[in-house]
Structure 1
Amino acid sequence: MNYPTTLPGTHKAVLNRIIEALSADSRLCGIAASGSYGSNKMDDYSDLDLVIAIHPNDYQDVFDQRFEIVSQIEGYTAGFSGEHVGEPRLIVSIFAPNAIHVDFKFVSLPDAAARVDDCAVLWEKGTLLTDVFATALPAYPQPDPQWIEDRFWIWTHYAATKIARGEYFETLEFLSFLRQNVLSPLALKQTGLTPSGVRTIEKRLPEFAEKLAKTIATVEKQSLISAVKQCVSLYLELRDNEVVERNDRAQELVISIFKISSVTKK
């Protein structure tokens, strides 16, 4: 097998054990790796993101037994399912002795075609998994500028009220939400990069990251006000590059209210 040149030896050892164990299960059709493995950009801290393709007739049985299957692989230490990211088919796990993070996504073979990035086939029966991948191109979910515009000013009003009430940690969480779900995805999309939240934003868009850093606040009123204003400024700058139906009334109302409510604690 031709592994990526950047695959660390610790990860290779775990991967070999996984392939050996899972390929012995007659119900499985193939195993593929995505993420940094597929792009050959791994390092010692990378996860192994695996897609486990299952024969459709056996899918429910394998899904029901997925924890039992994974726990039998040498080195398995702990794992949980991925409902927190809306993906119950996912098992997030860690393997000894080098604490290698491995994500297993169990899918019915036809469903393997729906993927967000390129996948490298590690093992398959015949060409079953390769053939499925050939039916569709990878497609990473893109931010919807209109969906964001329809919500942004209400979100901003929420931040203003939290600051006004002295709920500073709540506001900090909100600022993180905006960076992760609005500002960084729009900036990445507009430069033709994968809009994967704030991951490696400082490397991919260093100039934008400098602006984004000004949205980071301390647990103090004036710092939070400044950070929210920077979020608004960045959003308006990014929105100028999108075709959206703008809600000018909401924008004007919320900005005017923010100037009052964010400086007077109730």
Structure 2
Amino acid sequence: MPLQMHEDFINHAKEILRQDNRLLGLLVGGSMITGIMDEYSDLDFIVVYEAEFKEEIMNQRIPIAEKLGNLLAAFTGEHVGEPRVIICLYGSPPLHVDIKFVTVQELEQRAENPIILWERGSEISALMQGTSPQYPYPSLQWIEDRFWVWVHYGATKLGRGEWFELIDHITFMRNAVLGPLFHIKNGELPRGVRKLEVHEGEELEELKETIPGHSAERCYRALKMTIRLYKRFRQNSEGLEYKREAEQVSISYLESVYNKQ
């Protein structure tokens, strides 16, 4: 359940946004949908606006965000592939709020069914009832086509002694590959490495071994465990075209580089 600071911010936001006739509604997604909010939760707002005002609204996103509270900092979300989002920090107390600005038509393509906090008319409700969310799942073939190239790249960094670069690279592989596949194996949405700590068991302990330290030995061991877990997770994947030669060559190269250390 939302805490008082979340509820206060939501109530104020509704009051402010309904005064703008270009806007059609305010929705919220994320942890508020599942009812697992705590003091560390942010707010994932979706502001729906009339399509005819698109250019105007997109140019005024930060000024609109400034009206909702004491905005300490804000920037757009190109780095996460979502330029429609304004990532905001309000305070005090500090509160992280993501605000995505969309038209009703854009709302049709969504990963979840957000909660409607306020709407003008019933256009948003009608669209939500007539369409279904679709959470993006990773393509196993997309991963397989790239994974062994990533292994080779990691081996070159091992050979050069570029530990920081290799640590970041293995972290990327955990977030983009192992985390999502771990979630899918456990019947969950593939949300990167979010909340993997709630699981127990041998595989979680093995996943911890993919966290490298700043040395050749520790990076090598982490990359080897990354490979081991990926090969296990991809088992019995229907229709997957294995890149066997790429797998063999990249692993062999990794071993030869390590043996030179």
Deviations 1:196-240 (A, max 9, x none): 100101115654322110101110111111111000100110111
Distance change (3 Å), C-alpha of 1:207 and 1:14:
farther
Superposed, 1:211-250 pairs within 5 Å as 211-243=206-238, 244-250=240-246
In structure 2, what is the equivalent of residue 76 of structure 1?
Answer: 71
In structure 1, what is the equivalent of residue 105 of structure 2?
Answer: 110
In structure 1, what is the equivalent of residue 184 of structure 2?
Answer: 189
SS in 1 for 2:34: coil
Q: 1:145 aligns with which of 119, 140, 143?
A: 140
Q: In the TM superposition, what is the alpha-carbon distance from 1:178 to its structure 2 partner?
A: 0.8
Cα contact 1:34–1:49 (8 A) shared by 2? yes
Cα contact 1:164–1:263 (8 A) shared by 2? no
Q: 1:21 aligns with which of 16, 29, 33?
A: 16
- Which residue identity is paired with 1:158? Y
Of the structure 1 ranges 230-239 and 207-216, higher mean CA displacement relative to structure 2 is found in 207-216
Matched, 1:198 2:193: yes
In structure 2, distance between residues paired with 1:148 and 1:20 = 45
Deviations 1:24-58 (A, max 9, x none): 11011111000001111100010100110111112
Of the structure 1 ranges 224-233 and 239-248, higher mean CA displacement relative to structure 2 is found in 239-248
In structure 2, distance between residues paired with 1:171 and 1:11 = 39
Matched, 1:256 2:252: yes
In structure 2, what is the equivalent of residue 3 of structure 1?
Answer: none
Instruction: Say what the alpha-carbon RMSD is for the aligned residues.
Output: 1.3
SS in 1 for 2:259: coil
Q: In the TM superposition, what is the alpha-carbon distance from 1:262 to its structure 2 partner?
A: 2.4
SS in 1 for 2:31: coil
Where in structure 2 are there 5+ consecutive unaligned residues? Answer: none
In structure 1, what is the equivalent of residue 125 of structure 2?
Answer: 130
- Aligned-residue sequence identity (percent) comes to 35
Where in structure 1 are there 5+ consecutive unaligned residues? Answer: 1-5
Cα contact 1:30–1:128 (8 A) shared by 2? no
SS in 2 for 1:262: helix
Matched, 1:180 2:179: no
SS in 2 for 1:215: coil
In structure 2, what is the equivalent of residue 59 of structure 1?
Answer: 54
TM-score w.r.t. the length of structure 2 is 0.96
In structure 2, distance between residues paired with 1:246 and 1:9 = 52
Cα contact 1:91–1:103 (8 A) shared by 2? yes
In structure 2, distance between residues paired with 1:234 and 1:21 = 49
Matched, 1:160 2:155: yes
Distance change (3 Å), C-alpha of 1:84 and 1:242:
same
In structure 1, distance between residues paired with 2:196 and 2:67 = 37
In structure 1, distance between residues paired with 2:255 and 2:99 = 48
Deviations 1:65-109 (A, max 9, x none): 111111122322211110111111100001112101101000011
Superposed, 1:77-96 pairs within 5 Å as 77-96=72-91
In structure 2, distance between residues paired with 1:199 and 1:206 = 17
In structure 2, distance between residues paired with 1:113 and 1:156 = 38
Cα contact 1:54–1:109 (8 A) shared by 2? yes
Of the structure 1 ranges 200-209 and 162-171, higher mean CA displacement relative to structure 2 is found in 200-209
